[in-house]
Amino acid sequence: MSKGHRTTYICQVLANAFKKHTLDFMTLKQFIRFTSVSERIRLGLAKTGNIKQDDVKSALTPLPETFRCLKYKNSQYLVRNVPNSDLLVGYIQTKRSKTFGQLNQHFPLKKNELIKTVNTLLEKGIVQAKLSSTEKLILCLSAKTAKAQKPGRPVPADIPKTNAESREADKKASIIQFRQAYDAVSKGSDYVFIHHIRRNLKWRHSQFDKMLDTLMVEGYLAAHPGNPGDLAEDEVDDAYEDEFGDLYITVSWRKAV
């Protein structure tokens, strides 16, 4: 493969992976999960197994100018080459809302730089902070920003209390439904396979992951890693992968609904 063709192919593979991931950054470990066997082979990587981060970086060289690679904590990340403020706005929009603690845990930016970026977005009115029912400050897009991000879908400046109550009721109903599915497949076990719950509920993949994330953040559930080699490929796909690319196989319920 010529250098020009290789660069074009790398762009194509990256575009496919980021389309599946939906965020503007991912770990190299996640990148491998979002590529096909044929794509890995053409990049000169192993079909399966524990592929080293350095091998992935080498396979993606030369990295297109629209992407950059950075190290955060113990992981290497592929990041769209846009300002950190744009990355953060896109992340908050995708995740709907986040506490600063959650951002600091999952967003690949050093804490002091993250604080600076968040403060800038708050000062400009791009992001706003709200107090949740659990008394946590939640960062979300301002109504003006949300409207600009989604043209044609007007966002009211103030959400009526009735709408907020309706959303809270919907959330509560979803938690109860999740618990019922958990109980249905648990058979009395303290550790329940995530793929069993997912298949019982038959929710959209993104909807299930969002609720699972909410349940963990609010202390209802604890997630546990495991050996994916003990599961079939489709069962691994129906487990849960966090934003660091770590795979969780089972969950345990921790508090009453």
Residue 152's pLDDT is: 38
Based on its alpha-carbon atoms, the radius of gyration of the chain, rounded to whole angstroms, reads 20
What letter does residue 232 receive in the DSSP assignment? -
State the pLDDT at residue 7: 81
Tell me, which fold does domain 3-80 have in CATH?
Arc Repressor Mutant, subunit A (1.10.10)
Q: pTM of this prediction?
A: 0.57
pLDDT at site 243 = 67
The span from the first CA to the last CA of the chain, in angstroms, equals 57
Domain boundaries, the chain: 3-80, 84-158, 162-253
Residue 150 has pLDDT above 60, yes or no: no
What is the mean predicted confidence (pLDDT) over 149-176? 61
Task: Using pLDDT thresholds of 50, 70 and 90, give the confidence band for residue 151.
Answer: very low
Task: State both tokens at 30.
Answer: 């996640």
Mean confidence (pLDDT) of the chain: 85
Same fold, 3-80 and 84-158: yes
Q: Tell me, what's the pLDDT at 159?
A: 38
Shortest CA distance to 97 belongs to which of 41, 167, 13?
167
Number of residues assigned to the chain: 257
User: Where does residue 160 rank: exposed (0-12), middle (13-18), buried (19+ CB within 10 A)?
Assistant: exposed
Per residue in 89-136, pLDDT (tens digit) is: 989 888 877 889 889 888 999 999 999 999 999 999 999 998 877 788
Under CATH, what is the fold of the domain 84-158?
Answer: Arc Repressor Mutant, subunit A (1.10.10)
- 207, β-bridge pairs: none
Position 149 scores a pLDDT of 61
Kindly indicate the confidence band of residue 157, based on its pLDDT and cuts at 50, 70 and 90: very low
Higher pLDDT, 146 or 175: 175
Tens digit of pLDDT for each residue in 182-237? 999 998 888 999 999 999 998 888 889 999 988 988 889 999 988 888 888 888 88
Share of the chain above pLDDT 70, in %: 89
| Long-range Cβ pairs for the range 73-77 (8 Å, 24+) | 73/244, 75/27, 75/28, 75/29, 75/108, 75/244, 75/245, 76/27, 76/28, 77/25, 77/26, 77/27, 77/28, 77/108
Tell me: pLDDT of 158 over 70: no
As a whole number, mean pLDDT of residues 125-148 equals 84
Residue 41 or 7, more confident = 41
